Amino acid sequence: MKQNKKTLALKNLNKSNVWDLQENDVFRLWEAAEKDADIRDNTRHYIDIIKSAFDMEEVKVDKPEVVKKYEARGYKVGLLKTDDGEKVKWAVKKRPILRVTDLTYENIRHITTSKLLEVIDRNFGGGWDSLSQSIQDIIESGFDISTTTLPKDRLRKPGGMYEKKVADGFEVLEIAKGMWVEAIFAKAKPEMEKPRLKTDNFPDEEEDENEEEYNEKEDYYNDPDEEDDTFDEDKLTEESYRTTFETDPEDLSLEAEGISDEYDE
């Protein structure tokens, strides 16, 4: 279950829920935690967590014209108290998710379905199969995905897959491939609260550290994979009609869809 950002505190911030925050929240949570001795002694730890979702730069020249330049680039500028108790001015900006290589296991559940499809659409228009397996795994950890490729005049046939998926709450990205269209259907998965293992020899604090270490080990999934599968319309024949989800075989019958007679000519 996603934690409401209003109930978040700096002390329970991690590399996943930090994506729920906006720039102003960073300064608000930091100010609220200034009197906490544990926070004061570990400011570098919390800055590292924030940096996993935000670009942060220390404003070393504190002049109005310098601050304005940061603000013009979309940064919010404010004060953060450091380990020695001194307040330092920082410029903070949420990292944008623009490319599929920006997607991670930590942020995938913090974007909307519309945003996800927008990011996929930017991937050279190559469709689902153009994504690396590692990126597909990240996406499917947070979203139900299914695809189909049909002649464009058959894609939205009444009673067909397109209509059923939309009625079931899926959003659709259509990618034109000559006279055919690939439809990518996506819907956010319900987030289940993970059970936490607690033993006398594994206190909560150590568990959090181990969980963070596990998340860091998964970073290799986010290495860019720039393979771009070029679509070959000549290879996409009636025999290549396929879907990537399980359903009643009668629903996919080419005879029922009228595809066979219409495209055998």
Per residue in 155-168, pLDDT tens? 999 999 999 999 99
Residue with the larger pLDDT of the pair 160 and 197? 160
Which of 118, 220, 235, 132 is closest to 174 using CA atoms? Answer: 118
The least confident of 9-13, 60-64, 91-95, 217-221 is 217-221
* Mean pLDDT confidence for 219-246: 46
Structure tokens at 29: 């949570």
State residue 3's pLDDT score.
Answer: 52
The pLDDT confidence band at residue 102, using thresholds 50, 70 and 90, is very high
Is 0.85 topped by the overall pTM?
no
Average pLDDT, the chain: 78
Neighbours of 106 (CB within 10 A): 21
The least confident of 114-128, 180-194, 233-247 is 233-247
The pLDDT confidence band at residue 34, using thresholds 50, 70 and 90, is confident
Q: Is the pLDDT of residue 201 over 50?
A: no
Structure tokens at 218: 């998964």
Residue 171, SS3 per DSSP: strand
State residue 208's pLDDT score.
Answer: 45
In sequence order, which residues have a C-beta less than 8 Å from that of residue 20 and are 6 or more positions away?
A: 2, 3, 5, 8, 110
H or E segment at 219? Answer: none
State residue 216's pLDDT score.
Answer: 45
% of the chain at pLDDT higher than 70:
69
State residue 193's pLDDT score.
Answer: 54
Structure tokens at 33: 């935690």
